[in-house]
Amino acid sequence: MHQNSHHTLPLIAGGLLLCALALSGCAGAVVGVGTAAVAASTTEKGFSTSVSDGIIFAKLNEKFLQQNQVLLTHADVTVNNGEVVLTGRVKTQGDKSLATKLAWEIKGVRSVVNHLKVTETATLKQIGKDNAAVGLFRTKIGLDEEISSLNFSIDVVDGIAYLSGLANNTNEMNKVIYHAENTRFINEVISYIVVSTDQRD
């Protein structure tokens, strides 16, 4: 019986999320988000937190779609326990400020960390290095048996790695940070990783 309920939980999470999005008028953001919420429900996050983060992610991308499509294609969004982290590159300071404003408009958002880079162009060489760093890092944590790699996200912009996710314990968090710090092409690591035992409002 326990085994059956374990396999059913992700399906319930996806169904609830799709219903919630439909009620909130976010039909345009439904595609792909249900899958993200299902995957999140199987990690260290609790069931309700996974669904809430998925809804925030969907609503923010819907706002980007409606008000500034540049943000939709250029801003990378990570949501963890109500904390929104924005990374990537945009062309103007106005784009960056708008992204923060739109994120704060969403119910359930606890904090917004905006690391969007304002730049007209990025060299192909730097973009290649950043992408290579992401791949190398994901390989490292994927091979580490003490790390649940699916629980963590990374974005590398101009050699700076932004980590987020939910660690089972401090040791796992420190190992993820260690791997990032020792990955080629990463010059600096900024971590927003939360330990699952932390008490948060």
Give the helix ranges, DSSP H, for 68-123: 69-74, 93-104
Q: Considering just the CA atoms, what is the radius of gyration of the chain in Å? A: 17
Residues 21 and 107 in one domain: yes
Average pLDDT over residues 31-50: 50
Tokens (6 digits) for 122:
């990025």
The answer, yes or no, to whether residue 178 has pLDDT greater than 80, is: yes
Average pLDDT over residues 167-195: 94
pLDDT of 200: 43
Instruction: Provide the domain limits for residue 190.
Output: 124-195
Report how many domains make up the chain.
Answer: 2
Residue 151 carries which DSSP code? G
Q: How confident is the model at residue 192 (pLDDT cuts 50, 70, 90)?
A: confident
Q: How far is Cα 50 from Cα 63, in angstroms, rounded to an integer?
A: 20
Q: Which residues pair with 128 in a beta bridge?
A: none
The answer, yes or no, to whether residue 35 has pLDDT greater than 90, is: no
Q: Which of 39-53, 100-114, 168-182 has the lowest mean pLDDT?
A: 39-53
Residues 108 and 160 in one domain: no
pLDDT of 1: 43
Q: How far apart are the first and last CA of the chain?
A: 34
Q: How far is Cα 143 from Cα 45, in angstroms, rounded to an integer?
A: 22
Assess if residue 61 is contained within a domain: yes
Residues 94 and 130 in one domain: no
* Contact (CB, 8 A) for 43 and 151: yes
- 108 Cβ partners below 8 Å, 6+ apart? 52, 55, 56, 82
> Is pLDDT larger for residue 2 or for residue 191?
191
